[in-house]
Amino acid sequence: MENKREKNIFENKDRPPVVKEYVEDKRQPDDFVKVETTWGSIFDRFKKSLGIFKDTSLKSDLEKKQQEEMEAMEKITTKEGVNFSRCQMKKIIEGQRNGRKIEFESFSPYLSDYNMATGEIWEDKLTKGDAIGIAIGKVLRESFPQARLISLYDEYNSEIPDSADPTGKPIVEGSQIVFPEETKLNFRKSLEEIMRKKGLVRGNDEEGKDFLFVSESSKTRDATALVSKLEEVGKIKHDGQAIYFVNPDAENPEYREITLRTTNGRWLCEALDASAFIKPENLEVTHLVVLPDHFKKQQDKVWEILRILGIESDNYHNIFYNEDMPPGKAAEIIRKEIERNM
């Protein structure tokens, strides 16, 4: 049961106490599993206040307070480098008990991190994030044996300019070399080999049913469909080749406008990732995406889009981790969080 106290948001006592915010009592980090307030609930509460104070000087003050409360919540819900602020593990487990389909993603490598000539993933030279992702994936596979494993592997973003001046600066902003088809196929093959070797894909697992590998490059067609769907509800702005998602009522005011496609026509990960959820059946699935800390902003942008597609907060969860922590430690912290909620 949450202990809450009311606090007038106004510093000036002469102003009427029209709007009130609720501030969580201070908790120790070890109590993070007891925090019932969700990421979205804080945004929902502030959204009501922000709606009252549209186009006033109070709006920026409220947005600042909202950000401060979210930062405080992140500290409470982060356990030794693993951030649970955007995950309600209890909801995931309840869904499993009620027969709801679950999908999880923790290992989605980038081809640019490995052998870009052959597409081979070096098992002995995994990136820090990929090594942790595999360790976490093994825990999730054991904890949710009926869940479907997802890997949205990236052979679309090479991060290498296809043309540059003598200083190394790209001649065309945002342009990148394109990997050969054979390299992409080898990368997909290498991904499955390491998944099977590490036990994330089991001997009798069926592709499509028990696991699904989706290439980032294949999502460009779906990104176009995503834009059409969002355009139907008035959430798209065009500027030449650039495409933006716009939503004045975004949960996070920072993401009222999100770039989906750049001025040179290149799709960004926010659009490609969100496009994976346009199928109606995704509304009936609980999704858990586990990534390094530096993906937080990207995933928050994806969430803003998914909200408009009808995905409920109970059905989309993120866990983030510090890439500098040992893989086994990150996996064990997540295992304990699952066990606490069983």
Contacts for 44-50 with beta carbons within 8 Å, 24 or more apart? Answer: 44/251, 45/21, 46/21, 47/249, 47/251, 48/19, 49/9, 49/19, 49/21, 50/253
At what angle are helices 128-143 and 327-341 packed, to 10 degrees?
30
Give the domain ranges of the chain: 4-76, 82-341
Coil vs helix vs strand at 126: coil
Residues 6+ apart with CB under 8 A from 219: 152, 156, 267, 272, 273, 275, 276
Sign (positive/negative) of CA torsion 246, 269, 226, 42? negative
Report the C-alpha gap between 308 and 246 in whole angstroms: 11
DSSP-based helix, strand, coil % in the chain, nearest 5: 45, 20, 35
Instruction: State how far the Cα of 20 lies from the Cα of 9, in Å rounded to an integer.
Output: 6
Q: Which band of pLDDT confidence, cut at 50, 70 and 90, is reported for residue 10?
A: very low
Beta strands 148-153 and 316-321, pairing class: unpaired
Type and span of the H or E element at 21 = strand 20-24
Please write the tens of the pLDDT for every residue from 84-112.
999 999 999 999 999 999 999 999 999 99
| 3.40.50.620, 3.40.50.300, 3.40.50.800, 3.40.50.150: CATH of 82-341 | 3.40.50.620
* pLDDT tens column, 165-220: 444 454 454 556 788 999 999 999 999 999 999 999 999 999 999 999 999 999 99
